[in-house]
Amino acid sequence: MNCFYHEDHTSVATCVDCGKGLCRECTSRYEMPICNECNEKRSRTEKQIIVRQYIPSALFFIGGIVFSIYVMESDVVFAILFGYLMAGVFWGWKVISFIQPKMFLFLPIAGWFFYFIIKFILSYFVGIVAMPIGIAKIIISHVKANAKGKNIDQNKSAM
């Protein structure tokens, strides 16, 4: 079998996603034997996952600002601070869900009600610290995904 991109070269590996034959030159472009199209597809999926991680935090932020301005009738500075704290609830919830044991499965309905109220309050305070760390991780992942996309574009143009 010959390389999908270089028909005069013998393939030494196949793409891990689609099975196209790849020569030594094509195999050495990425960490694993993968063709440009499949790697580009993976990169797009990775970017979509990263963007989806922003959405809940942004919705909580906007909801906190709207609630603060229209319900609490506060000034803009307090509204932004309250929006920040509400956006942190999402991140705090993720951290608490990660570290808590799954032992509350058989609570009565009242137990679930109190469990979620306590978890929400804890998420509020944990989120103050967890959100900046989570956002920094997302930004770093986004920068890496963009660099990966540029690398794929360079490899496509080199063919």
- pLDDT at residue 62, as a whole number: 93
- pLDDT at residue 153, as a whole number: 78
CA-nearest of 51, 52, 2, 40 to 24 is 2
Geometric angle at alpha carbon 99, from 95 and 102, rounded to 5° = 120
- pLDDT at residue 138, as a whole number: 87
Q: Are strands 13-14 and 21-22 parallel, antiparallel or unpaired?
A: antiparallel
The position carrying tokens 């000034």 is 75
Q: Which residues pair with 13 in a beta bridge?
A: 22
Helices (H), 34-102: 36-66, 76-99
- pLDDT at residue 101, as a whole number: 67
Residues of the chain where predicted confidence (pLDDT) is lower than 70: 101-107, 158-159
Q: Is 16 helix (H, G, I), strand (E, B) or coil?
A: coil
The pTM score is: 0.67
- pLDDT at residue 37, as a whole number: 87
**pLDDT tens digit sequence for 58-85:** 898 999 899 999 888 888 899 999 998 8
- pLDDT at residue 105, as a whole number: 61
What is the C-alpha separation between 95 and 125, in angstroms, rounded? 11
**Burial letters for 61-76: b for 16+ Cβ neighbours within 10 Å, e otherwise?**
beebbeebbeeeebee
CA-nearest of 43, 1, 37, 46 to 18 is 37
- pLDDT at residue 65, as a whole number: 92
